[in-house]
Structure 1
Amino acid sequence: MKAAVLHSENHFVYQDIAIDNCQKDEVKIKVMAAGICGSDIHKMVSKWKYPLPAIMGHEFAGYIVEKGSEVTNVEIGDRVAAIPFFPCHTCEYCTSGMFSLCENHGMLGSKSYGGFAEFVNVKASNVLPIGEMDFEEAAMIEPLAVALHGVLNIQPRLGDVAAVFGVGTIGILAIQWLKIAGVKEIIAIDISDEKLAEAKEMGCERTINPINEDLMGKIKEYTNGQGVDIAFECAGSKVTQEQCLLITRKKGKIGYLGIAYSDVVLSEKAFENIFRNELTLKGFWNCYSAPFPGEEWTKSIDFILKGRIKLKELISHRFPLEETQQAFDLMINRTETYGKVLIIPNKE
């Protein structure tokens, strides 16, 4: 098969590579769409810590073209989304149903070959039927489940006011879930006016660009001086990771979805707010719960199929498999404004 093979940081080669027949508990997926995750980009500008050569891509969907002798849950021709995470099922977290915290998990696209290829072998237990869902939408189920994992666990109350820092893909998806959960008003915060305009189209009542607006002043204005009930950090910036602590009301909640890529040093005021305002801080990792893969995945599929989630509008670029290098170059160098970037290994 053809694949975009990673040989070193941000060095992809479009080449032929062998793929095994399915094991007895596996299926072979013909990949129709695969998303590039923000974490993929970070790995290209820092250090790749997994075996090389590698095939990246942990957000993908397609249809089954082969199945192992013991597979009974799906059939050849079924349209499916891949669950890239393989919990060990034996550590204390797995046996407690907290699969996102598994200490010995496998992962497609890093520890084993992923979706930037024409085909992928996946355990049959790690696929979910998608019905007639568009493959491009299905490739975004994984990030949608990541956003839902945060929203479900921050437990918004009907009528809450929330702020979302960083309105890239995860931020926009979190906004949509917060609206569904009954949040009364959402304030989108980003340094890109273009991203803020997209957030407004997705239902955000207010936006703030801290580059040319007074963040604290605007928050006070919009919340009658109280601060927001919930702050979601989706930017992965040490600046916004601190600002969450400054804009949240007493007894408010802060959810961290963005990865910290550098040390976070807090001002005295920000740190004091944690205990003086009795804030609740929660971090959210991955998107899995019991029974595996969890309601994050099943609800994401249900809401997409019911037309309750907008995904197509978030896709800005599509690249054929042979242009995977160009896709990463665009995102790393920010040569254009982009939203969700997809790799298309096969055409219908």
Structure 2
Amino acid sequence: MRAAVLYEKNEIKAEEIEEAVCHADEVRVKVMAAGICGSDIHKMQTRWKYPLPAVMGHEFSGVITEVGRDVTNVVVGDRVAGIPLLPCGKCEYCQSGEFSLCDNYRMIGSHFYGAFAENTVLKAKNVIKIHDLDFEEAAMLEPLAVSMHGVLGIRPKVGDTVLVFGVGTIGILTVQCLNLTGVKEIIAVDISDKKLEDARKFGCTHTINPQKEDLKARVLELTNGLGVDIAMECAGSKVTQEQCLLVTKKKGKIGYQGIAYADVLLHEEAFENIFRRELTLKGFWNSYSAPFPGKEWHNSIEFVKQGKIKLKPLISHRYAVQDTAEAFKMILSRSEDYNKVLILPQKEVL
């Protein structure tokens, strides 16, 4: 099969590789669409910590083409999305249903070959039926479930004012999940005017570009001098990770979803706000709860089917699998504005 294979020094080659064997408890999925995740980009910017050669891709959808003899939850022809986490099932956290916190988890696309390929093999428990959902939308269920996990965990109340730092894919998905909870206002913060323009289309009531206006002063102006009830950090920037502490009201809540790409060193005011304002800080990792994969995934599918969450408008680029290296080059060089970038393994070479 054709796959995008990662080698040393971040070299990606499109080549023919041998298909994996489908064992008794596994299924083979013909991959129709796979998304490039922010964590994939992060791994390429730092150091790949997993076995090489590798095939990345953990956000994906496709069709079941083969099932192992012990598989009962799906049949050949079922349309599915991949669930990339393989929890150990034995540690304290798995035993309590906190699968995102598993001590010994493994991931498709890191520990095992993933979905930047014409097909992939995975445990049958790691697929979820999507019925008639569009394949490109279904490939975005994983990041949507991540956003859903954060919103469910921060527990917004009807009438809250929420600020979202970073309105890329995860940020806009978080905004859409927040809109379902009855919050009163959503303030979007980003340094891209284009992303802020898009944020308004998705329901943000106010937007702030902190390179053009004073962030703290503008937030206080919008909140009668109090600050926001909740700040959600989706940018993964050490700047915004600190700014959350400056714009949240007393007894407010902060949800951290963005990956830390560098050390976060806090100024005195930001740190003191944690205890002087009695802030609640919560981190959110992955997208899982009990029963596996959890309500985050099932909610996501239903809200997309009902049209309450829109995914297609977030897709900015589509590449054939043989052009995966070009996709990463575009992202890492920031040569173009992008949002969600998809790899389409069944796309024909022109």
TM-score, normalising length: structure 1: 0.99
- Higher mean alpha-carbon deviation, 17-26 vs 322-331, is at 17-26
The Cα offsets for residues 46-84 of structure 1, whole Å up to 9 and x where unpaired, read as 100000000000000000001101111111000000101
Give the ranges of 4+ consecutive aligned residues of structure 1 lying more than 4 Å apart after TM superposition: none
Q: Which amino acid aligns with 1:94?
A: C
Check whether the contact 1:9–1:43 (CA below 8 A) recurs between aligned residues: no
The Cα offsets for residues 274-312 of structure 1, whole Å up to 9 and x where unpaired, read as 000000000000000100000010100111111111100
The Cα offsets for residues 142-189 of structure 1, whole Å up to 9 and x where unpaired, read as 000000000000000000000000001000000000010111100000
Structure 1: unaligned runs, 5 residues or longer: none
Check whether the contact 2:20–2:120 (CA below 8 A) recurs between aligned residues: no
The Cα offsets for residues 293-334 of structure 1, whole Å up to 9 and x where unpaired, read as 000101001111111111000000000000000000000000
Aligned partner of 1:192 in structure 2 is 192
Q: How do 1:1-348 residues align onto structure 2 when only pairs under 5 Å count?
A: 1-347=1-347
Q: Distance in 1 between matches of 2:269 and 2:241?
A: 14
Secondary structure, counterpart of 1:220 in structure 2: helix
Secondary structure, counterpart of 2:51 in structure 1: coil
Secondary structure, counterpart of 1:330 in structure 2: helix
Per the TM alignment, residue 19 of structure 1 is displaced from its structure 2 partner at its CA by 1.3
Check whether the contact 1:4–1:55 (CA below 8 A) recurs between aligned residues: yes
Please give the root-mean-square deviation of Cα atoms over the aligned residues, in Å. 0.8
Per the TM alignment, residue 200 of structure 1 is displaced from its structure 2 partner at its CA by 0.5
Q: Distance in 2 between matches of 1:262 and 1:339?
A: 22
Name the count of aligned residue pairs: 348
Structure 2: unaligned runs, 5 residues or longer: none
Check whether the contact 1:9–1:45 (CA below 8 A) recurs between aligned residues: no
Check whether the contact 1:10–1:328 (CA below 8 A) recurs between aligned residues: no
Q: Distance in 1 between matches of 2:147 and 2:108?
A: 19
Check whether the contact 2:321–2:347 (CA below 8 A) recurs between aligned residues: no
Per the TM alignment, residue 20 of structure 1 is displaced from its structure 2 partner at its CA by 2.7
Q: Which amino acid aligns with 1:342?
A: L
Q: Distance in 1 between matches of 2:246 and 2:104?
A: 36
Per the TM alignment, residue 8 of structure 1 is displaced from its structure 2 partner at its CA by 2.1
Q: Distance in 2 between matches of 1:321 and 1:48?
A: 20
Per the TM alignment, residue 31 of structure 1 is displaced from its structure 2 partner at its CA by 0.1
Cα–Cα, structure 1 residues 241 and 198, in superposed 2: closer, same or farther, change >3 Å?
same
Check whether the contact 1:10–1:325 (CA below 8 A) recurs between aligned residues: no
Aligned-pair identity in percent equals 64
Check whether the contact 1:29–1:120 (CA below 8 A) recurs between aligned residues: yes
